[in-house]
Copies of this chain bind each other. A is one copy, B any other.
C-alpha cells in the first residue's frame, strides 16, 4: 500500500490524472463549469467566497454516486449470497420474510422491505462475528464474486469521473468523506484502495458492537442489534456526529441524499450540491422514479429550484468505468 499524507489520503492520489485537465472524463458543459467555478471561488485566497482549508469538507454518497447500484445495492447482493450460503443451517428462513424473498430471489418483496429489511438480513447473517472476521468475509466476497452484467469484480464498477472529482477536490485541500446508507464496515473494506478514502472518513449505517476479551485477546463482536441508519434524515445526523462541522459540498444520486444536500447547501458561504442522474442504459443503467435501489423522485423535481447540479451520465460523462480507459489503451 502506498504512503499517505496527514489526512490519511495517498500522497500519490490513485485517481489523479496526468492530463492538464483535472476532470478529463467530464464533457465540457454546464456541470463541469459549475464544479470548476465552485473550486476556484473557494480556493481564491482573500476572495469573497474564499473558504479556509480546515472547512473544505465534501461529502459523497456511495451507492449510485461513487459506484453502480444495479441490479441492486452491491451490499444487498453480498447479503443475499450470505443468506444462500447459510440457509442449510436455518430451515426456518424458508417461511420467514425477508429471508424467504432472498431464497426465492423475489426482488420486489425485498425492495418493499427497504433498508430496514436489508439491515435485518445483515444482522441475521453476521451475529457473533468479530469485526476482523466480518472484514475478511467481505473482502473474500469482493474478490471472488462478479457483477451479473459486466462479469467483473464489483469494485471495478466505480465511476471514473467521480474518482477524478475526488482527486480534484483533494488537490484543492478538500477532505473527502463518504456518507453512505450502506454499512460503515462494509464500505471501509474497499474505500481506501478504490477511492483513496481512509476508514475514518467513511460514515455509514452501523450495528452495535461489543468489546470482549477472548482468551486474553480483545475483540469487537458484531451484535444482532441496529445502531444507526445513515440514510435520508439520518445523513445530516451522521455528518454532525462523525464530522462535527457542516460540509460545503455534497454529492448524491437518490432521494436518500436529499436531506444531506439540503443540510449542506443551507449553510452560509459558497455551497455546492450535485445529483447524479442515471440515464445511460447503454453504458450503465437508466432508472429514477420507479427504482428499487436508488430511487430518485423528489430530487429530480427540486434540483433546479435549489441550485443543485444535475449530472446526466449519458451527456456529461465521457467514460463511466476506469476499465474503459484500459480498453482504450490496448
Interface residues of A (CB under 8 A from B): 1, 3-10, 52-54, 57, 131, 170, 173, 175, 184-185, 188, 192, 198-202, 206, 209-211, 213, 217-218, 220, 227, 233-234, 236-237, 240-245, 259, 262-263, 266
Contact = CB atoms under 8 A, between A and B. Distances in A.
Contacts of A53: 3-6
B54 A4 contact: yes
B199 A211 contact: no
Contact of A244 (B175, B202, B240, B245): B202
Contact of A259 (B10, B54, B218, B266): B218
Instruction: Tell me what chain A mostly uses at the interface: helix, strand, loop, or mixed.
Output: mixed
Given A1-B52, A211-B237, A244-B202, A263 B218 contact: yes
B242 A200 contact: yes
A192 to B, nearest CB: 8
Nearest to A131: B240
Contacts of A209: 237, 240-241
Given A1-B52, A52-B1, A170-B6, A211 B184 contact: no
B266 A218 contact: yes
A131 B241 CA distance: 11
